Amino acid sequence: MKIAIASGKGGTGKTTIATNLALSLDNVQLLDCDVEEPDSHLFLDLKLKKIEDVCISIPKIDKQKCDFCGECSKFCQYHALAVVKNDVLFFSELCHGCGGCTLVCPKNAITEENRVIGVIEGSNSGSLEFYHGLLNIGEAMATPVIRALKTKIKNEKTVVMDSPPGTACPVIESVNEADFTILVTEPTPFGLHDLKLAVDMLRTLKIPFGVVINRDGIGDSRVEEYCEEEKIKVLMKIPHDEKIARLYSKGIPFIEQMPEWKDRFRELHKDIEESAWG
């Protein structure tokens, strides 16, 4: 089963839920899809090793063949190509690697070459198999790295995917094809506002989901009232607890020193299976 952990906003506790859930189960893969700032490994005490580079294909222009007609720059919706007098300017950071410029060039002056934009790293700890993607500094596109990271998924395992915050393209790529998504929120006005955005996204994608309320007790009841009105199941509530916060600040998953929560996360997993598969 593939379980994505997402939220409408940052700082709600996605990594807390993802790491504690993964460590509570057997035969698990944990994928940190927040490739711009992955941090799940900080709670797992792992020695990561490089698995592979992530590349996209970019155009290589043969200026001996090129007649500077401008068809490539007209085609490029991201303005990665600009044709000027007797030259073609290429801005690699804007290129999405679609290959369209190669197809439209009437002189066959464009071929493709690889450009590294990130890396996949991983490690194992007992029955837990961990991978994360890491986007190179200055790169704009996270989705190719997330897509490459998801090729590591093994269908015979339970897969937990820690998604980026928000509702933009990286999140959609992360939750796409998930069997179920846990939306982590907090009982605050900001938490409610961004939860509604995430709910709309998942309903559009037709992905089953439920809500986990983290830091329960710091705000009001409007998140629960919204979930009741929208018939969204609240799967778990984690209290605003000083011990949990202290363990988090030290990079310690709280199930390690609060073992009663391991059983609760296992029950959460069973609840998810019933909600997703009936």
pLDDT tens readout for residues 50-59: 999 999 999 9
Residue 8 — pLDDT band, cuts 50, 70, 90? confident
Of all residues in the chain, the percent with pLDDT exceeding 70 is 100
pLDDT for 270: 96
pLDDT tens readout for residues 242-273: 999 999 999 999 999 999 999 999 999 999 99
State the average pLDDT over residues 123-145. Answer: 94
What is the residue-wise DSSP string for the chain?
A: -EEEEE-SSTTSSHHHHHHHHHHHSSSEEEEE--TTS--GGGGTT---EEEEEEEEEEEEE-TTT-----HHHHH-TT--EEEETTEEEE-GGG-----HHHHH-TT--EEEEEEEEEEEEEEEETTEEEEEEEEPTT----HHHHHHHHTT--TTSEEEEEPPSSSSHHHHHHHTT-SEEEEEE-SSHHHHHHHHHHHHHHHHHT--EEEEEEEETSS-SHHHHHHHHTT--EEEEEE--HHHHHHHHTT--GGGT-THHHHHHHHHHHHHHHHHH-
CA pair distance 74, 261, nearest whole angstrom: 57
Prediction pTM value: 0.93
Domain ranges of the chain: 2-54+119-277, 63-108
pLDDT for 205: 97
Class of domain 63-108: alpha beta
Q: Judging by beta carbons within 10 Å of its beta carbon (0-12, 13-18, 19+), is residue 126 exposed, middle or buried?
A: exposed
Class of domain 2-54+119-277: alpha beta
Q: Calculate the CA 69 to chain-centre distance.
A: 40
